[in-house]
């Protein structure tokens, strides 16, 4: 039997086994638990019927400081804040679940109704004062700084309201939608209550529409970055009108929907530059974006009436389906190797449950009209949509590579250490004494399972490689939310009474589906272990640390060094990184390294798994240092260490006796390039920490703005200001204006302050240098790609034009290619340490490919059309070359693979460690270690060296610094590239 045939047969057998396993899920039990979860999220005075008894009363004074009763409602996730925007969306989805699938809920229906009424009772309070809508209760910064039970809360419980003067149309309209949908749920069960909900829904909608504006602008940091409305408020207004039309049949609401739907696309384009809009806004649905939900909700009205005028609703609903189907030619989501649907953005299970709900709802609407969906030459029947939705549900319940249920309390294996304060702390029953703000920190840090089961909670889930670290600290993956569970309630209700068919056709269909999702690829060898390479690429930064090393230092041959840095000018400049194989702290490339590490985490952090925490530590090691370097007004420390004396010596950083001169730039001796790059690093890092350490994030953001202002006000190059300290080591050949625009671009991304965008637009056309360059010296290509999502839909934008030209300069088949390639396929550009080009430019290719994919664009290089997948393919060839797919069969990452550089140009690595040789090694005493042909004594794991020449040759010698020396700015972009490929199948792009 041939290899292909054996793989196909084994794949079908695997699929048949998996189909058999699908039937083993107890959807009824999962439904019961998914609804029970909402009792664990209750705020306020708990009822006597409370079944999750470890929870007690909490938030009983909410609203009382302003004379309004705001007791009740739900905590959104693992914290103790009541964010009304996602709470309202959860309520709408619970109501939709009951409306469409309540007949299938059996004895769980009363509990589902209780869950809805717990929210609607609260929203009646939140909308009880005319002219005001309360949008949040609880200071998120105070709350997120504490780890305490809701029953013990002593953080500020500030109420936040929208009003005529300070509008919040998105949250107000979502509350209107929730009340309208819930009114239909209670219409036959409690007519008086239903009428009250509907009346209030109309009032709140009128308020939202009459006083238009986003709560982003009116409440600012109190809602952002927690539940910032990225897509604008117009979609919530149409969503609210659609639900009011369904609830009232009043023509004015239908007219509102029809009149405003056509403007929605351009409004979304106006409000967002996120990568998350893969496939266009019609493909999005969640607490922030309602577009796909609007189209499918309205399609039911149109299909049930057999209307011939489908408007944009049914075509867009069909297009949404085509973005999700794995076999569709226009699929824009990705799937993990185990088959889990993935979209960019945190807490991925919210996408899996919300989009699966829409698939199931649309399948039923289409089935009633005998419709099919056509995705090019692919025809999707309603049964196919249901099959795909079931696949997502089954994955969540345990049919996945880890055989783990991601619903707490369901199955034998489920998350035990979820990011949830109430669940992780001992209950009041077991520990009656109060646990204050910081008193719960040991429970957060503990590796013990949570003492209280938050039964039914669905967590954020695994990464896109199906890996899951059961850790409270990894909140993106381990935190449950109400808006993950709410649509899952409807899905489970349907599948509770609709078991999967087990006929031959069903088995074959499942086999085809799983083959499309790549499950049988597990029989093929994976040529590169990107996860191992990622781990090592981050570990390398520990080998470059300067200062007092922490207790958790893993590269233990390194010890404390340079503990008196900055003392010559009375500053504490201990810390930071050595840039390469020497012992100088050059802040210009160090700042660029920090910016690229931050960008790597922002784009690909969710794919890093357990390595994310180490990446964050590496980033913070840089930002903590730059806060010191910028701590005195009117000056910025640009460098520590005399490079001339340092480069004369070959000694360990632990033994340094060379000059540790501190070089500063100030108002009379400016250094705009280094100052602006530090501003960029701080701004980018502030975004990274915005959901992890918000106070620290604010400190970084404020300092970034101050440093940028200094860099821009006192313009000039540090080439002239610090002279030999900078040149010829890190001389700024490209001028400082690109760093100023780069810094402004990052500050705009971090703050959304229009003045920074104005600065970028005003100055981009005046930059010198090449639009094809990107590295520690030149930022042009990086600027164009960084801002491209903001202007992707603006024809003729200089940023998009130049970003496209950059791509065309790299593609081997492009008529305007300006780089060269070695015989073995390595990208080459003039200048030393060539792999810095391969890693940084590959990073840009992958980032831009994702932005292009989100905008459904390709790049045209003359007659050559480059799709997003082509950009990824080119980047992958560079990554694989670095990891060993090259003529020498050598990995250029130290410690990765069986063959890698052994004699790298690095002082600390080549000299014996203080563990094995305790005596001081003086300036010239290390020369014998420099010139010896023996391998380095300490393995600098993860270090990427300068690499081979343009004929794929590599002399493994310390004396050839341009090829054998590692640098931090080689590794920083490679961290992001490796994180991206870590989760992809090796055969995904050929």
Catalytic position from the list 479, 565, 606, 611? 479
Q: Give residue 478's Cα distance to chain centre.
A: 14
Tell me the backbone φ, ψ of residue 251, rounded to 5 degrees: -55, -30
Q: What's the CA gap between 509 and 390, in Å, rounded?
A: 13
For 925, half-sphere exposure in the C-beta direction (CA atoms, 13 angstrom radius) is 13
DSSP 8-state secondary structure symbol assigned to residue 153: -
Structure tokens at 968: 């931090």
419 catalytically annotated: yes
Task: Give CB contacts under 8 A, 24+ apart, made by 926-929.
Answer: 926/649, 926/650, 926/651, 926/652, 927/650, 929/650
- Is 147 within 8 Å of 440 (Cβ atoms)? yes
Q: Which of 700, 543, 541, 685 is nearest to 629 (CA)?
A: 700
Alpha helix (H) residue ranges in 714-751: 718-721, 737-751
- Three-state SS at 458: strand
Q: Which helix (H) or strand (E) holds 180?
A: helix 169-186
| Nearest Cα residue to 213 out of 269, 168, 273 | 168
Indicate left, alpha or beta for 894 from its phi (over 0: left) and psi (-120 to 50: alpha).
beta
- Which one-letter DSSP state was computed for residue 346? S
Q: Is 498 a catalytic residue?
A: no
Note if 587 is an active site residue: no
Catalytic residue among 144, 271, 419, 587: 419
Catalytic residue list contains 470: yes
Going by C-alpha positions, the residue among 713, 719, 642, 639 that lies closest to residue 676 is 713
Tell me how far apart the alpha carbons of residues 837 and 950 are, in angstroms, rounded to a whole number: 13
Q: Which position among 470, 529, 613, 693 bears the catalytic label?
A: 470
Distance between CA atoms of residues 779 and 777, nearest Å: 7
Distance CA 235, CA 247 (A): 18
Q: DSSP characters for 91-132?
A: HHHHHHHHHHHGGG-GGGHHHHHHHHHHHHHHHHHHT-STTE
- In this structure, are residues 182 and 95 in contact, taking their beta carbons and an 8 Å threshold? yes
Angle (nearest 5°) at CA 787 between 785 and 791:
110
Q: Please pick, among 271, 351, 420, 905, the residue that the annotation labels catalytic.
A: 905
Q: CA nearest 680: which of 587, 584, 546?
A: 587
Partnered with residue 134 across adjacent β-strands are 161
DSSP-derived letter for residue 834 is T
Query: 286 to each of 101, 231, 269, 480, how far by Cα in Å?
Result: 19, 11, 17, 15
314 alpha-carbon distance from chain centroid: 31
Give Cα separations from 609 to 360, 447, 461, 747 (angstroms). Answer: 31, 17, 11, 28
- Quickly list DSSP for 41-57: TB-BS--TT-S-TT---
CB 871 within 8 A of CB 857: no
Q: What share of the chain is helix, strand, coil (3-state, %, to 5)?
A: 50, 5, 45
Using only C-alpha atoms, the chain has a radius of gyration, in whole angstroms, of 29
Angle separating helix axes 780-791 and 737-751, nearest 10 degrees: 30
CA–CA distance, 745 with 591 (Å, rounded to integer):
15
- CA 629/CA 710 separation, integer angstroms: 13
Catalytic sites, residue numbers: 419, 470, 479, 905
């Amino acid at each position: 039997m041939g290899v292909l045939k054996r793989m196909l047969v084994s794949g079908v057998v695997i699929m048949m086994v998996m189909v058999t396993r699908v039937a083993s899920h107890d959807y009824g039990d999962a439904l019961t638990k998914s609804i029970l979860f909402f009792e664990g999220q209750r705020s306020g005075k708990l009822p006597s019927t409370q079944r999750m008894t470890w929870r007690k009363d909490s938030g009983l004074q909410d609203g009382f400081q302003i004379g309004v009763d705001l007791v009740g409602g739900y905590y959104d996730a693992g914290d103790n804040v009541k964010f009304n925007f996602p709470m309202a969306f959860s309520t709408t989805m619970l109501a939709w679940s009951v409306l469409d699938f309540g007949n299938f809920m059996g004895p769980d229906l009363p509990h589902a109704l209780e869950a809805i009424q717990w929210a609607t009772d609260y929203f009646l309070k939140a909308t009880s004062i005319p002219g005001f809508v309360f949008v949040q209760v609880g200071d998120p910064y105070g709350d997120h700084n504490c780890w305490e039970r809701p029953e013990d809360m002593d953080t500020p419980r500030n109420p936040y309201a929208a009003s005529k003067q300070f509008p919040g149309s998105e949250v107000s309209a979502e509350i209107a939608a929730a009340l309208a949908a819930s009114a239909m749920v209670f219409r036959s069960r409690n007519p008086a209550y239903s009428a009250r909900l509907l009346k209030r829904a109309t009032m709140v909608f009128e308020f939202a529409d009459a006083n238009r504006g986003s709560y982003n602008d009116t409440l600012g940091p109190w809602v952002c970055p927690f539940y910032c409305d990225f897509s604008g408020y117009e979609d919530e207004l149409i969503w609210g009108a659609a639900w009011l039309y369904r609830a009232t049949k009043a023509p004015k609401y239908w007219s509102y929907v029809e009149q405003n739907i056509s403007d929605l696309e351009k409004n979304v384009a106006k409000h967002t530059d996120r990568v998350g809009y893969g496939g266009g806004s019609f493909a999005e649905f969640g607490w922030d974006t309602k577009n796909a939900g609007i189209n499918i909700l309205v399609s039911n009205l149109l299909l049930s009436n057999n209307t011939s005028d489908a408007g944009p609703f049914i075509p867009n609903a069909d297009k949404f389906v085509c973005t999700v189907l794995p076999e569709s030619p226009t699929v824009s989501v990705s799937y993990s190797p185990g088959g889990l649907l993935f979209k960019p953005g945190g807490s991925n299970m919210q996408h899996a449950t919300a989009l699966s709900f829409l698939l199931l709802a649309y399948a039923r609407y289409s089935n009633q009209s005998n419709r099919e969906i056509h995705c090019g030459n692919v025809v999707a029947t309603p049964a196919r949509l249901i099959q795909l939705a079931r696949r997502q549900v089954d994955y969540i319940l345990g049919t996945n590579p880890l055989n783990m249920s991601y619903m707490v309390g369901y199955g034998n294996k489920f998350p035990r250490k979820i990011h949830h304060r109430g669940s992780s702390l001992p209950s009041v029953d077991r520990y009656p004494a109060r646990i204050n703000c910081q008193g719960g920190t040991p429970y957060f840090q503990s590796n013990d399972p949570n003492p209280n089961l938050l039964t039914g909670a669905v967590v954020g889930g695994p990464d896109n490689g199906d890996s899951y670290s059961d850790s409270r600290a990894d909140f993106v993956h381990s935190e449950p939310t109400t808006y993950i569970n709410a649509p899952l309630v409807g899905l489970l209700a349907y599948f509770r009474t609709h078991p999967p068919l087990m006929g031959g056709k069903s088995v074959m269909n499942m086999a085809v589906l799983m083959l499309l999702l790549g499950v049988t690829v597990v029989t093929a060898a994976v040529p590169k272990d990107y996860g191992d390479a990622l781990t090592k690429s981050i570990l390398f930064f520990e080998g470059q640390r300067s200062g007092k090393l922490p207790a958790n230092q893993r590269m233990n041959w390194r010890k404390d060094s340079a503990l008196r840095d900055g003392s010559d000018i009375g500053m504490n400049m201990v810390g930071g990184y050595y840039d390469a194989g020497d012992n100088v702290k050059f802040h210009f490339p160090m700042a660029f390294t920090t910016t690229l590490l931050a960008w790597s985490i922002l784009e690909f952090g969710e794919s890093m798994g357990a390595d994310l925490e180490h990446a964050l530590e590496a980033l913070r090691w840089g930002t903590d240092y730059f806060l010191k370097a910028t701590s005195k007004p009117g000056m910025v420390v640009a460098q520590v260490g005399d490079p001339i004396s340092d480069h004369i010596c070959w000694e360990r950083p632990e033994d340094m006796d060379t000059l540790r001169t501190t070089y500063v730039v100030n108002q009379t001796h400016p250094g705009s390039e280094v100052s602006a790059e530090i501003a960029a690093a701080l701004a980018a890092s502030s975004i990274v920490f915005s959901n992890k350490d918000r106070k620290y994030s604010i400190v970084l953001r404020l300092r970034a703005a101050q440093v940028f202002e200094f860099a821009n006000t006192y313009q000039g190059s540090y080439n002239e200001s610090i002279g030999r300290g900078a040149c010829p080591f890190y001389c700024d050949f490209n001028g400082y204006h690109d760093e100023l625009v780069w810094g402004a671009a990052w500050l705009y991304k971090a703050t959304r302050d229009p003045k920074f965008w104005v600065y970028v637009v005003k100055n981009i056309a005046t930059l010198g240098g090449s639009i094809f360059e990107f590295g520690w010296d030149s930022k042009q290509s990086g600027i164009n790609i960084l801002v491209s999502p903001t202007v992707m839909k603006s024809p003729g934008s200089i940023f998009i034009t130049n970003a496209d030209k950059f791509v065309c300069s790299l593609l081997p088949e492009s008529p305007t290619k300006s780089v060269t390639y070695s015989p073995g396929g390595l990208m080459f550009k003039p200048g030393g340490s060539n792999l810095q080009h391969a890693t940084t430019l590959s990073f840009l290719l992958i980032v831009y490919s994702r932005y292009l994919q989100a905008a459904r664009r390709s790049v045209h290089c003359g007659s050559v059309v480059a799709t997003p997948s082509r950009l990824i393919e080119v980047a992958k060839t560079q990554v694989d070359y670095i990891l060993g797919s090259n003529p020498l069969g050598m990995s250029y990452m130290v410690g990765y693979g069986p063959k890698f550089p052994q004699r790298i140009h690095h002082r600390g690595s080549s000299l014996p460690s203080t563990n094995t040789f305790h005596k001081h090694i003086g300036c010239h005493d290390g020369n014998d270690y420099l010139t010896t042909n023996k391998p380095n004594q300490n393995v600098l794991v993860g270090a990427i060296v300068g690499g081979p020449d343009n004929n794929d040759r590599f002399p493994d010698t310390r004396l050839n610094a341009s090829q054998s020396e590692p640098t931090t700015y080689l590794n920083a972009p490679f961290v992001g590239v490796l994180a991206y490929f870590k989760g992809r199948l090796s055969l995904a792009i050929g």
